[in-house]
A and B are shown apart, each in its own frame.
Chain A
Amino acid sequence: MRFLGYTIGDDSTPLPTPTPELFAAMGTFMTEAVNAGVLIATGGLAPSSEGTTIRLEDGTFAITDGPYTEAKELIGGWALLECASKEEAIEWSKRFLAINGSGETRLPQVFGAEDVGPTGL
């Protein structure tokens, strides 16, 4: 089962620069998750002020440059986890947050091959 873990926050209050200790601890943790065969892809996000929204309505595209106006957005980073169960993905996310000290992670499941029943998607 795949899960996309991503951190949520208010983009208008930028995250403090991580201390060297936090940086190192996070690096060790990520290596551990990669070595366990669980973390299969990960990435960081630029601030939403550098992002863009593309909307299609009534046949017209509207392109709006960031920042996004919603209070809470996907910020910081994301990680694609391959786990045996949701509980395992939760455990990994708890460890991530514990190192981070605080924060909020969302964890939707990503459908993969095993979720495609005989009738297809």
Chain B
Amino acid sequence: MHDVDRAIDAVWRMESARLIAGLARIVRDVGLAEDLAQDALVAALQQWPEAGVPDNPGAWLMAVGRRRAIDLVRRQALLAQKHDVIRRDLEVRQDVVLAERDVAIDDDIGDDLLRLVFVACHPVLSKDARVALTLRLVGGLTTGEIARAFLVSEATVAQRIVRAKRILAEARVPFEIPRGDELSARLASVLEVIYLIFNEGYAATGGEDWTRPGLCEEALRLGRIVAQLAPREPEVHGLVALMEIQASRLRARVGPTGEPILLHEQDRGRWDWLLIGRGLAALERAERLGGALGPYALQAAIAACHVRARTVDDTDWARIAALYDALAQLAPSPVVEVNRAVAVGRAFGPAAGLDILDALRTEPSLQGYHLLPSVRGDLLAKLGRMEEAGVEFRRAAAMTGNGRERALLIERATAATQNA
């Protein structure tokens, strides 16, 4: 690839979202807007290697895109006029004037970008489609990059994106920022998509695939962008805080031979303190906006408790238990309950933790979840019920897919049985 081509790639990544958003305001269709943006990119690929990259490449692309967008609106208006004798010339002119006026209002690119985010994450689309479309339209990733990140074929991603655009057009999803009651549900969808992208990258870092942490960075970037676009929404800051703090531990959660290292065994010196600082600041912004913390802010607050503790023993387990209580009420789930049991066990003694776990024993969604017997075994061992603890550790060992963890669990099972 030539230097200019690489520069064009970089410019595309930096400018494409704003370009597509600006064009979508004119043509009122994100699929069409992306096509027009791609046309502008093709023009750049043809002209820049000869003429050089312009001083303001974003403005160049936007100028080309807009010219084509207005041509398109004109053509559509004329076509409509031909097909519909009732439509008067005046209406056609109005359409074009409106399109041109939309071009003139240039100061609200931030709002356009936010509209684009909301459309790409529209609930009418499946989760997979929302993720792909967001990475493509807002993140500026190519179909190939998305495919590699999600370990699916390029054709699959391309198909997802084409289908998503068609569904948006058919459902006539308006290019606007939702208001009133709709806003919180739509925002939740946006945040969910960003967190899905983050977790895809985060979960992969334990494995051998080192290309995928890029997804964490991408999600962080999207989160930061949305936080700037919707600064009055506490949960946006909550999500950013959660991701920044979790990302701060990426480096510390894998050992020298690639084995995962659990939170309480991590070398805190390897945490990324810049990201922690950013995460704590984002959490503070969420808290300052007032009201009860939402699920993301609560999870961020829990993560913050862990990073604020200088050592594992310094951890404020009572506060973590209280935060899990609040989370369990807002977003109840068996996994949250298991985590709550750990925190309560640490804060108020193993018996209190065990009470919570006993209520979960018949929970069907936890049948294959190795942390349930593992945590149970830990609490039982602390209570001196060694025989039962040994049984739980062995059950957990049989369930986990992680070799190192299995070895550790078998070791604990043996120790428990010997001490029984």
Interface residues of A (CB under 8 A from B): 34-38, 40-41, 80, 82, 84-85, 87-88, 90-92, 98, 112-114, 116-120
Smallest Cβ-Cβ distance to B277: which chain A residue: A41
Asked if residues A37 and B222 are in contact (CB atoms below 8 Å), the reply is: yes
Which residues of the other chain, A, contact B11 by a CB distance below 8 angstroms? 91
B413 to chain A, nearest CB (A): 28
Cross-chain contact of A118 among B214, B257, B272 (Cβ < 8 A): B257
Q: Which of B50-79 contact A (CB under 8 A)?
A: 55, 57
Task: Give CA–CA (A27, B357) in the complex, Å.
Answer: 54
Is the CB–CB distance between A113 and B247 below 8 Å? Answer: yes
Q: Are B256 and A90 in contact (CB under 8 A)?
A: no
Could you tell me the distance in whole angstroms from the C-beta of A26 to the nearest C-beta in chain B? 16
Besides A118-B258, A120-B255, 17 new A-B residue pairs in contact (Cβ under 8 A), listed by A number: A35-B224, A36-B224, A36-B225, A37-B221, A38-B221, A41-B274, A80-B274, A82-B217, A82-B221, A85-B10, A88-B10, A88-B14, A90-B7, A116-B254, A117-B210, A118-B208, A120-B254
Secondary structure of the A side of the interface?
A: mixed
Mask for B1-44, Cβ within 8 A of A = 1, else 0?
00000110111011000000000000000000000000000000
Chain B 215-248 against A: per-residue CB contact (8 Å), 1 yes, 0 no?
0011011111100110000000000000000010
Q: Which B residues are in CB contact (< 8 Å) with A41?
A: 274
Identify the B interface with A (CB < 8 A).
6-7, 9-11, 13-14, 55, 57, 110, 205, 208, 210, 213-214, 217-218, 220-225, 228-229, 247, 250-251, 254-258, 272, 274, 278
Contacts of A120 in B (CB 8 A): 254-256
Residue contact B221 to A113, C-beta cutoff 8 Å: no
Within the assembled complex, what's the spacing in Å between the Cα atoms of A38 and B223? 11
Q: Give the complex CA separation of A112 and B220 in angstroms.
A: 14
